[in-house]
Amino acid sequence: MTKPTLVYTTYIRSTPKKVWDALTQPKFTRQYWGGLALVSDWKKGSTWDMATADETPEIYTTGKVLESTPPKRLVLSWIDPENRKDISRVTYEITTVKDTVCLTVTHDRFKAGSTMPGRVNGGWPRVLSSLKSFLETGQGLAAANCG
């Protein structure tokens, strides 16, 4: 059985720096990722968490920063905190195409038998649509709140 590679591409009327900031700054991620904050210093080898903004945050996803080249490329390990052996990889690639930014997100390297592909396959399109709306209009989509 082959392991899936999930690839999502969106074009955003923005700049690479603004897209990078939206991906890496909690004050922005909360606006388009259903209120969740992505928290890290985004340096290679650092931990990152996707968590609620509560005083006692609930961590939804965690991992390590595998590569960080602002504002072009960010590669993360993606770990289910309820099953820490379920590790995959997410790569964000940011390129400029004329007056827009092309953001490609690749989620791959799933472990054999992982339930992660089925869980994230519907989530990535909602999050990326919400990110695009946030960057272009200042407001994310309510659809990103769907589990």
Q: What is the pLDDT of residues 51-83, one digit of tens each?
A: 998 888 899 999 999 999 999 999 999 998 888
Can you give the pTM of this predicted structure?
A: 0.94
pLDDT of 1 reads: 53
- How many alpha carbons lie under 13 Å from residue 22 in its C-beta half-sphere? 27
Q: How far apart are CA 84 and CA 101, in angstroms?
A: 33
List domains and CATH numbers for the chain.
6-145 (3.30.530.20)
